[in-house]
């Protein structure tokens, strides 16, 4: 049995399995939230809706053996989009779970289908536009 970090959010019908390093067969003792104390915008790979998550939403879950291969083929990517509010230099950062080595056409399809209304930019503004309506500044795989 293996453990991976999972995000749970009120109102979401299913958890988000994070493709981070799979932990050993014993229950992990470290935090399953690898991004410090700051909340992050994370896009659900099932419904394409981005929401804000924090350490309190993250838990260790046992990974079913038959899913281990599939999750190792996935990676976390960082999507960066300008805020869109006039005179705001803030950026919207969204973590997207997609396959490793994703190609530009697939990447563009993910951005087009992403529902990120209401996520927060670095300066605290909530989005009031579709992310696909803005040119993204980055979409890269992160460790």
106 close to 75: Cβ distance less than 8 angstroms? no
User: Burial level of 51, CB count in 10 A (0-12/13-18/19+)?
Assistant: buried
On the CB side of 105, CA atoms within 13 Å amount to 0
Domain ranges of the chain: 2-142
Per-residue pLDDT tens over the stretch 24-78: 555 667 777 777 778 889 998 888 888 888 888 888 888 777 777 777 788 899 9
Q: What is the mean pLDDT of the chain?
A: 83
Helices (H), the chain: 68-72, 104-113
Per-residue pLDDT tens over the stretch 87-100: 888 899 999 999 99
Task: Give the integer Cα–Cα distance in Å for 9 and 52.
Answer: 9
Task: Give the integer Cα–Cα distance in Å for 74 and 2.
Answer: 16
Q: What is the pTM of this model?
A: 0.85
């Amino acid at each position: 049995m293996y453990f991976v970090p999972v995000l749970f959010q009120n109102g979401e019908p299913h958890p988000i399995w994070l493709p981070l390093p799979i932990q050993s067969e014993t229950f992990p003792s470290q935090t399953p939230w690898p991004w410090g104390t700051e909340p992050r915008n994370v896009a659900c790979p099932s419904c394409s809706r981005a929401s804000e998550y924090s350490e309190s939403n993250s838990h260790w879950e046992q990974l079913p053996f038959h899913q281990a291969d599939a999750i190792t083929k996935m990676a976390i990517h960082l999507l960066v989009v300008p805020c869109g509010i006039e005179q705001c230099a803030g950026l919207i950062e969204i973590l997207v779970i997609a396959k490793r080595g994703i190609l530009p056409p697939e990447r563009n399809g993910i951005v087009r289908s992403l529902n990120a209304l209401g996520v927060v930019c670095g300066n605290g503004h909530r989005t009031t536009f579709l992310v696909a309506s803005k040119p993204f500044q980055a979409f890269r795989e992160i460790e």
